[in-house]
Amino acid sequence: MHSKASAVNLQLSLNARRQRHLRGFVFGSILAGVILLVGMQSGSFEQSAGILADVILQKVHQQTLSQEQYLQWYVFSELRAPRMVMAMFIGALLAMSGCAMQGLVRNPLADPGLIGISGGAAAAAATALALINHFPELEAGGQYLIAFSAFIGALLAVWIVLIVARTPAGMAISSLILAGVAVNALAGTHIGAISYMANDDALRQITYWTMGSLGGVTWSKVLFVGALSVPIIGLYMHLRQPLNLFALGENEAQCMGLEVNKYKRFILWVVAFSVALATALCGIIGFVGLVVPHIARTLFGADHKYLMPACGLLGAILMLAADTASRALFPPLEIPIGIVTSAVGAPFFLYLLAKQKRGGAIA
């Protein structure tokens, strides 16, 4: 039978594609390992893998460390290792949320920031920073207050956007984006007003916060983010098939058995929650959610089955690389990581726009 033969052929090509993607994932993991090795050796404190290996061996054999060795161990285990692990979690979260956002609004130029998440977080964080500056007694729990406010601010922004965009027939994506623009503008005004009234110190902190940073990451923060990231990543994996259906169009998705309105809200909340989490702990890190899904799509195709995990992996790699670059470029200075990602991401975004204008299809 003819169709039997073509079924065998198709199965073979499916297997080949899966093999290719698996090889991609293995290669990506190796690349992440290499960047980890480079990353732990870069920065203002000189550290080499060789010395560190000796230190770890001595630790394993429970020998006492010299002061020099102890310093090596401390810088690695308490400063660099936690921030690199954090970078991977944050990168994966941001990239996967970008992937979900683009799939949901069916636009490759979409970004989680589009619906006001980072704007809301920044406005709330700026308020918290100004308050802490004004009331020194808040200083003690300062970083928690900032993170908490940013988190709530982000969710609040999304909530407002969702309410505005709600219609009896469901949620229109176009009004969702317009509402996002309005909320972002409002957040910008709020930050502007606070900056105007704030003293130089607070102003500096606000500016610094909006540039994003992985400084000051501790294992307890990593543990916190990790514990929340794992179920969120699980949710994103669960959303792969619904996102595939969204790519065909909302009507099509509904007719193929997806409860479109329910999933639309669900996807938005998952995106909002993950970006709020990342922003609360590390400030605004732009363009990861926009750029990574693009790169992943050119490498792994549009099917979210592979695209979503690929985004997670590539996001982790990109953030690791950006973190390494932020420490390695101008030691002993550490460039805020948001600047690194924007410096790479913004030109790439312009390139995508130009490509689209020339009529080329965006992958």
Partner 1 sequence: MLELEKIALYHGATPLLNGLDITLKVGEFATVIGENGCGKSTLLRCIAGLHSHYSGRVALNDRELSGWNTKTLATQRAFVNQHNQVQFAFLTEEVLQLGRMNQKETLAQSTELICQVAEQLSIGHLFARDVRTLSGGERQRVYIAKALVQLLPNANTAKYEGAFEGKLLLLDEPTSALDFRFQKAMMDVIKSYCQQGLSVMCVSHDMNLVLPYANQVILLANGRCLAQGQVCEVINEQNLQLCFGVTPTLIPQANSVPFITH
Q: Shortest Cβ distance from residue 6 to partner 1 (Å)?
A: 5
363 interacts with partner 1 by CB under 8 A: yes
Sketch the per residue contact string, 79 through 108, with partner 1: x for CB under 8 A, - otherwise. Answer: ------------------------x--xxx
Nearest CB to partner 1, comparing residues 230 and 255: 255
22 interacts with partner 1 by CB under 8 A: no
Nearest CB to partner 1, comparing residues 46 and 259: 259
Residue in 33, 141, 249, 347 binding partner 1, rule: CB under 8 A: 249
Nearest CB to partner 1, comparing residues 5 and 227: 5
176 interacts with partner 1 by CB under 8 A: no
Q: Assign 3-class secondary structure to the chain.
A: CHHHHHHHHHHHHHHHHHHHHHHHHHHHHHHHHHHHHHHHHCCCCCCCHHHHHHHHHHHHCCCCCCHHHHHHHHHHHHHHHHHHHHHHHHHHHHHHHHHHHHHHHCCCCCCHHHHCHHHHHHHHHHHHHHHHHHCHHHHHHHHHHHHHHHHHHHHHHHHHHHHHHEECCEECHHHHHHHHHHHHHHHHHHHHHHHHHCCHHHHHHHHHHHCCCCCCCCHHHHHHHHHHHHHHHHHHHHCHHHHHHHHCCHHHHHHCCCCHHHHHHHHHHHHHHHHHHHHHHHCCCCCHHHHHHHHHHHHHCCCHHHHHHHHHHHHHHHHHHHHHHHHHCCCCCCCCHHHHHHHHHHHHHHHHHHHHHCCCCCC
Nearest CB to partner 1, comparing residues 204 and 262: 262
Q: Shortest Cβ distance from residue 339 to partner 1 (Å)?
A: 30
356 interacts with partner 1 by CB under 8 A: no
Give the binding range for partner 1 (CB under 8 A) out of 87-95, 240-248, 273-281, 350-358. Answer: 240-248
2 interacts with partner 1 by CB under 8 A: yes
Nearest CB to partner 1, comparing residues 13 and 66: 13
Sketch the per residue contact string, 295 through 334, with partner 1: x for CB under 8 A, - otherwise. Answer: --x---xxx-------------------------------
Please, which of residues 100-159 interact with partner 1 by CB under 8 A? 103, 106-108
Nearest CB to partner 1, comparing residues 18 and 134: 18
361 interacts with partner 1 by CB under 8 A: yes
Burial class (CB in 10 A: 0-12, 13-18, 19+), 201: exposed
220 interacts with partner 1 by CB under 8 A: no
Question: CA 306 → CA 296, 298, 311, distances in Å?
Answer: 9, 12, 9
Q: Shortest Cβ distance from residue 340 to partner 1 (Å)?
A: 28
Q: Shortest Cβ distance from residue 17 to partner 1 (Å)?
A: 9
Rg over alpha carbons for the chain, rounded to the nearest Å, is 22
> Which residues of the chain form contacts with partner 1 (CB under 8 A)?
2-4, 6-7, 10-11, 13-14, 103, 106-108, 168-169, 241, 244-245, 247-249, 251-252, 254-259, 297, 301-303, 361, 363
